[in-house]
């Protein structure tokens, strides 16, 4: 029997079964979450007890008339009560809390977070809050998946895989975007990417997407009715230089969006009132804003997820560049008022809205200034959507693919890729943190951007163990020695004295300063398994010996914390860019 399998079981088949379960539940959860938002929205705006709601259609004027201004306040009071009393993690946009759990809490998320987040976010969005569905569904799926991992007693790495399964499943079902769901986990959640981690995520994503097709439908998130414009090669080359300055503008806008959200949080936190009054003020201003927009433009425009407005921009229903620019700032203000004062919801949908409005504005302006280029503003709106998401979230590949999956428009994939890259580089050069990690950095918790291979995980213990050791009997006096001292009793190793444990100049016996807290393992174990073992038993030294038995004649080498630190330092030199 393989000792390493017993010590560090991969449970790969079990992980796959759990991935299937998470995919099914993720698809159902996404459907139920949409229904919950629809039910709350219909009740809040019309007093109707129905869950039928199409976010891509503008909400009709509320039955309450001007009293709709106070609906976000009532919803906000319930949200604050839920968050304060049951799950503070449910406040805000969700994804940062998932990332924090992965990097700082061993993949542990409280199970009740999924329920509280669903209720709080559905109430926020349903009563007019200017936030999105993606952050909540990521946190809901991740919390449930973490709870499953904890219930089955899985390791931290396995819980993280399940968390990624839940997040990707939610995205796949919510946006009908399975490829983007997988990429989201690769770029933002998974700390290791290989077949053992990616395949369960892919399984959950496929299952959730199919469940979503059955319960929600197969249509893309946005329907574009305008025929695609196909440029010649020479025209494409002529347009190519335009995408660089557009990327620069959207990259700066993405940073501005991120800063505004946290400026709003800081501003509201300085108010000398309690959480209820703070959120009441923010939602009152929000209600006034979207009711004024109804009176002025015949639509609320910035309330809720904002998909109806994005749909209008993509289909050239909105063509006035001044209106698009106004909508950009109005949505930015609405989002800051909602999340800054304590609302619960995601920032992905606002990112899409801002990108569509800014990109559409640029496209319309270019069409006016250079009509000979045969520019279609819808193209620039899609480019803006992808670039804003990619730059603000540090997930450029996810942004490119999810924009394609949400619009089913492949003809502009090349300019989308280029502009997203430029926007991301600009934002990254101006700020190391993105809209997710900035929240954690403010707490002093920094998240690595990008993933690197563990250069030492594949090594066997026999390749890295130290041969610099000596034997002393328990009653021998200790003399200085640069290596490790193994203390023996007959043919049995009973203790270890590390290089830093000597009391120089003292006449002491080996048995008085030796440590009995060490592990004995065979030389064919991997370094990764040894580290797992040491962490579980809280040991800092390993005796490498035949059969894992601490016998003098079977000793092959030792591995101390100093040796492990040296290995890590060498690996860091290889990985350093």
Domain boundaries along the sequence of the chain: 9-215, 233-441, 461-575
Q: Span 189-217, mean pLDDT?
A: 92
Q: Return the bridge partners of 541, or none.
A: 560
End-to-end CA distance of the chain: 41
Residue 505 reports pLDDT greater than 70: no
Q: From CA 127, how far away is CA 117, in angstroms rounded?
A: 15
pLDDT of residue 451: 64
The CATH H-level (homologous superfamily) assignment of domain 233-441 is: Clc chloride channel (1.10.3080.10)
DSSP designation for 229:
P
Strands 469-473 and 484-489: parallel
**430-467: pLDDT as tens digits:** 999 999 999 998 888 888 766 666 656 667 888 888 88
**208-249: pLDDT as tens digits:** 999 999 999 988 888 887 665 566 666 777 788 889 999 999
User: What sign does the CA torsion over 51, 52, 55, 59 have?
Assistant: negative
Q: Locate all alpha helices (DSSP H) within 467-520, ordered by sequence.
A: 510-513
Residue 202 reports pLDDT greater than 50: yes
Three-state helix/strand/coil letters over 64-127: CHHHHHHHHHHHHHHHHHHHHHHCHHHCECCHHHHHHHHHHCCCCCCCHHHHHHHHHHHHHHHC
Burial of 406 (0-12, 13-18, 19+ CB in 10 A): buried
Asked if residue 393 lies in contact with residue 348, where contact means CB atoms within 8 angstroms, the answer is: yes
Q: What six digits make up the tokens of 308?
A: 């109806």
> Around Cβ 215, how many Cβ atoms within 10 Å?
15
**313-352: pLDDT as tens digits:** 999 899 999 999 999 999 999 999 999 999 999 999 999 9
Q: Which of 84-88, 298-302, 554-558 has the highest mean pLDDT?
A: 298-302
Task: Say how many residues make up the chain.
Answer: 577
Q: How far is CA 562 from the centre of its chain?
A: 34
DSSP designation for 7:
H
Q: Locate all alpha helices (DSSP H) within 341-476, ordered by sequence.
A: 348-369, 377-393, 396-407, 413-430, 437-441, 461-464
**58-104: pLDDT as tens digits:** 999 999 999 999 999 999 999 999 998 888 877 777 899 999 999 88
Asked if residue 487 lies in contact with residue 509, where contact means CB atoms within 8 angstroms, the answer is: no
Q: From CA 365, how far away is CA 363, in angstroms rounded?
A: 5
Residues 9-215, CATH architecture: Orthogonal Bundle (1.10)
> Around Cβ 257, how many Cβ atoms within 10 Å?
26
The CATH H-level (homologous superfamily) assignment of domain 461-575 is: CBS-domain (3.10.580.10)
461-575 matches 9-215 in CATH topology: no
Q: From CA 115, how far away is CA 111, in angstroms rounded?
A: 8
3-state helix, strand, coil in the chain (%, to 5): 65, 5, 30
Asked if residue 357 lies in contact with residue 325, where contact means CB atoms within 8 angstroms, the answer is: yes
Rounded to the nearest integer, the mean pLDDT of the chain is 88
């Amino acid at each position: 029997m393989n000792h390493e399998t017993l010590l560090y079981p991969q449970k790969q088949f079990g992980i796959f079964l759990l991935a299937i379960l998470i995919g099914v539940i993720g698809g159902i959860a996404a459907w139920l979450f949409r229904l919950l938002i629809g039910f709350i929205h219909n009740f809040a705006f019309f007093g109707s007890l129905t869950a039928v709601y199409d976010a891509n259609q503008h909400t009709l004027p509320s039955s309450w008339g001007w009293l709709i201004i106070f609906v976000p306040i009532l919803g906000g009071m319930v949200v604050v009560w839920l968050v304060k009393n049951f799950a503070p993690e449910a406040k805000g946009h969700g994804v940062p809390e998932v990332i924090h759990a992965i990097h700082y809490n061993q993949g542990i998320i409280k199970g009740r977070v999924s329920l509280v987040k669903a209720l709080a976010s559905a109430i926020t969005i349903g009563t007019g809050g200017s936030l999105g569905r993606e952050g909540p569904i990521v946190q809901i799926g991740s919390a449930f998946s973490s709870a499953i991992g904890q219930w089955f007693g899985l390791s931290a790495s396995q819980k993280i895989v399940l968390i990624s399964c839940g997040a990707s499943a939610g995205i796949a079902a919510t946006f009908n975007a399975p490829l983007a769901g997988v990429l989201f986990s690769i770029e933002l959640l998974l700390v290791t990417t290989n077949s053992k981690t990616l395949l369960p995520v892919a399984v959950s994503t496929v299952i959730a997407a199919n469940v979503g097709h059955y319960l929600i439908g197969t249509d893309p998130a946005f329907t574009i009715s305008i025929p695609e414009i196909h440029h010649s090669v020479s025209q494409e080359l002529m347009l190519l230089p335009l995408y660089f300055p557009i990327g620069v503008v959207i990259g700066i806008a993405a940073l501005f969006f991120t800063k505004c959200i946290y400026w709003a949080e800081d501003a509201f936190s300085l108010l000398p009132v309690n959480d209820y009054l703070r959120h009441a003020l923010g939602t009152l201003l929000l209600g006034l804003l979207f009711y004024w927009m109804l009176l002025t433009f015949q639509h609320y425009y910035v309330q809720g997820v904002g998909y109806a407005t994005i749909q209008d921009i993509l289909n050239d229903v909105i063509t006035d560049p001044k209106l698009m620019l106004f909508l950009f700032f109005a949505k930015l203000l609405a989002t800051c008022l909602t999340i800054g004062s304590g609302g619960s919801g995601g920032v992905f949908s606002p990112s899409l809205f801002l990108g569509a409005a800014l990109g559409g504005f640029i496209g319309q302006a270019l069409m006016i200034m250079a009509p000979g280029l045969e520019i279609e503003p819808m193209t620039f709106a899609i480019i803006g959507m992808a670039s804003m998401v990619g730059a603000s979230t540090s997930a450029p590949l996810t942004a490119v693919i999810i924009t394609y999956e949400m619009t089913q428009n492949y003809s502009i994939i090349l300019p989308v890729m280029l502009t997203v890259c430029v926007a991301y580089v600009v934002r990254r050069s101006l700020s190391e943190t993105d809209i997710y990690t900035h929240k954690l950095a403010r707490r002093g918790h920094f998240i690595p951007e990008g993933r690197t291979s563990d250069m030492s995980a594949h090594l066997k213990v026999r390749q890295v163990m130290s041969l610099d050791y000596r034997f002393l009997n328990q009653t021998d006096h200790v003399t200085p020695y640069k290596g490790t001292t193994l203390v023996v009793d007959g043919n049995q190793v009973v203790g270890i004295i590390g290089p830093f444990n000597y009391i120089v100049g003292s006449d002491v016996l080996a048995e008085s300063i030796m440590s009995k807290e060490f592990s004995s393992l065979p030389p064919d174990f991997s370094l990764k398994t040894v580290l797992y073992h040491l962490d579980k038993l809280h040991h800092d030294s390993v005796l490498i010996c035949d059969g894992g038995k601490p016998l003098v004649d079977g000793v092959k080498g030792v591995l101390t914390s100093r040796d492990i630190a040296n290995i890590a330092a060498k690996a860091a030199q290889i990985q350093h860019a």
